Amino acid sequence: MHSEIFKKIVAKSITKSIPLQASLELTYRCNERCSHCYVEKFWDDPSKILSKKDWIKILYELREAGTLYLILMGGEPTLSPYFFDIIKKGTELGFHVSIISNGLKINSYEYAKKMKNVGLKLVTFSLYSLDESIHDKITRVPGSHKKLLNSIDFCKSLNIDVSINSLLTEANAIGLFDLYNWASDNGFELKIDPNITPKLNGDMSPTLYRASKETLLWFFRERSRRWENSIPSPSLETTNDYICNAAKGKCAVNPYGDLLPCIEIRQSMGNLIQKHFHEIWNSKDAQKWRTPRISQLKENDMNLYQFCEHCPGMAKNEIDDPFKITPYTKLIAEVKKQVYEEFKSS
Amino acid sequence: MLESYETIFKKSKNNPWQTIDFETIIIDPTNKYSFELNELGSFIWGQLNGKNTLNQIIITILADYDCTPDQLTTDFNSFIEKLIENNLVEKVS
């Protein structure tokens, strides 16, 4: 029932370009220094950072535009002075409000209870390993693992929904199946992403942490061996389908009020302090990101593309061409195709 | 059975919702369930703002929609009772 209604509303949001989901970067500040992070400076320009009044104006305009899901992120969203105010106002307006957090500030039962009381529905924590030394090495903050597990316990005890985001890197691959088992035992959804993007200024240093081809192969094979439903499979997309959902069913807002097509595409379509959401959303700049179809990609091998998770934003940032598939995205697709064929034949 | 048509309800803050194209989706995060309202249901949902009495909402519907009071009352009662049953609304007074 839930999924049927949800699928229907998602389809409608894409067809009619209704931003069902909006990701709000409340701040670039962060109390961790993760080796893979795309943020270049963990600092907000005081002359541009949005005020509480600005954020509330944006919430009203998103609500009017049809947004249901608000995802508060950063940097680290709990470092925003308006963190609780935005959750509270968002909830009052009818949004489903969730956050993506490293958990460091959720350091007491009372703090977690305050989040719940203002209406927070879901916390997605960034956890890289069950091994404290691996997690802390990635975050570059000693003790961050222990604090994060405490935060998760506080939220769980208050029945706040918890999910986990993790990455597949050379540094943490070895423990990822322990993480899967732990998440399953606790009833948490776990997403593991092999994509690591350059920093917003083009600095490629985060990509040094990407998993090698051998590690990717090991991970996808092992996951397929353990869970049949995780065997990679070709998508059913055709060349006439849209490349992605950017500037259609989703959008993002950075800490300075720039409206982005999605969190990955860092090209401002306009500033929400200077213009109304509708004016920007219906502009030519928004149309530009909304209309591209798979047929426009500079990729001829559709058999490979069926396994590809091409992201125009990541490609623009990495190789300055949103229509070209990056070498690493292609590598992941090749690995998934190989694993699919191995399991299909066995 | 509804207690009184002078009762005022408001939407529960526990249930995120949005109206798109005259249809409303209401989420029950606890039970991972969604409710879908049609155009008239969405209109009534919009009127449950902690200010209107049920009677005022009925009068507004009769003015805006092509239906008789008898037809409307049965469906209206049933609709409000379902909202109460699923904790989607809170009684204000």
> What is the per-residue DSSP string for A152-204?
HHHHHHTT-EEEEEEE-BTTTGGGHHHHHHHHHHHT-EEEEE---PPPTTS--
Q: Cis omega before residue A75 (within 30°)? A: yes
B49 touches chain A (CB under 8 A): no
Q: What's the complex ipTM?
A: 0.91
Q: What is the DSSP letter of B29?
A: T
Query: What are A30's two structure tokens?
Result: 């962060």
CB contacts, 8 Å: B30 with chain A: 159
Residues A75 and A263: their CA atoms lie apart, in Å, by 12
CB contacts, 8 Å: B34 with chain A: 1-2, 5-6
A163 touches chain B (CB under 8 A): no
Please give, rounded to a whole number of angstroms, the shortest distance from the CA of A120 to a CA of chain B: 9
CB contacts, 8 Å: B17 with chain A: 68, 94
pLDDT given for residue A324 in this prediction:
94
Chain A 191-250, residues with CB within 8 Å of chain B CB atoms: none
State the alpha helices, DSSP H only, in chain A: 2-15, 52-65, 83-93, 109-117, 132-139, 144-157, 176-186, 213-226, 277-281, 284-290, 302-305, 312-319, 327-345
Q: Is the pLDDT of residue B1 over 70?
A: no
Residues A148 and A153: their CA atoms lie apart, in Å, by 9
**Residue ranges for chain A with pLDDT beneath 70:** 1-2
Q: A318 vs A32, A143, A213, A314, CA distance in Å?
A: 24, 32, 19, 6
pLDDT given for residue A239 in this prediction:
87
The residue type found at A149 is L
Helix (H, G, I), strand (E, B) or coil at A219: helix
Q: Look at A224 and B29; give whichever has higher pLDDT.
A: A224
B62 touches chain A (CB under 8 A): no
CA A98 to chain centre: 12
pLDDT given for residue A2 in this prediction:
57
CB contacts, 8 Å: A13 with chain B: 20
Q: Is the pLDDT of residue B47 over 70?
A: yes
Residues A299 and A312: their CA atoms lie apart, in Å, by 13
Residues A70 and B29: their CA atoms lie apart, in Å, by 14
Please give, rounded to a whole number of angstroms, the shortest distance from the CA of A7 to a CA of chain B: 11
Beta-carbon contacts of A192 under 8 Å, excluding residues fewer than 6 positions away, are A166, A167, A168, A176, A179, A180
Residues A246 and B40: their CA atoms lie apart, in Å, by 32
Contacts 24+ apart (CB under 8 A), A83-87: A83/A26, A84/A114, A84/A115, A84/A118, A85/A52, A85/A55, A85/A56, A86/A24, A86/A26, A86/A52, A86/A55, A86/A56, A86/A59, A87/A115, A87/A118, A87/A119, A87/A120
Residues A52 and A113: their CA atoms lie apart, in Å, by 22
The residue type found at A95 is F
Average pLDDT in chain B: 92
On the CB side of A182, how many CA atoms lie within 13 Å of its CA? 17
Query: What are A2's two structure tokens?
Result: 């839930």
pLDDT given for residue A1 in this prediction:
44
Q: Is the pLDDT of residue B30 over 80?
A: no
Chosen from A96, A122, A155 to mutate, greatest number of chain B CBs within 10 A: A96
Closest residue in A to B11 (Cα) is A94
Query: What are A298's two structure tokens?
Result: 């500079």
Helix (H, G, I), strand (E, B) or coil at B26: strand
CB contact under 8 A, B20 and A9: yes
- Helix, strand, coil percent content, chain B, rounded in steps of 5: 40, 30, 30
B25 touches chain A (CB under 8 A): yes
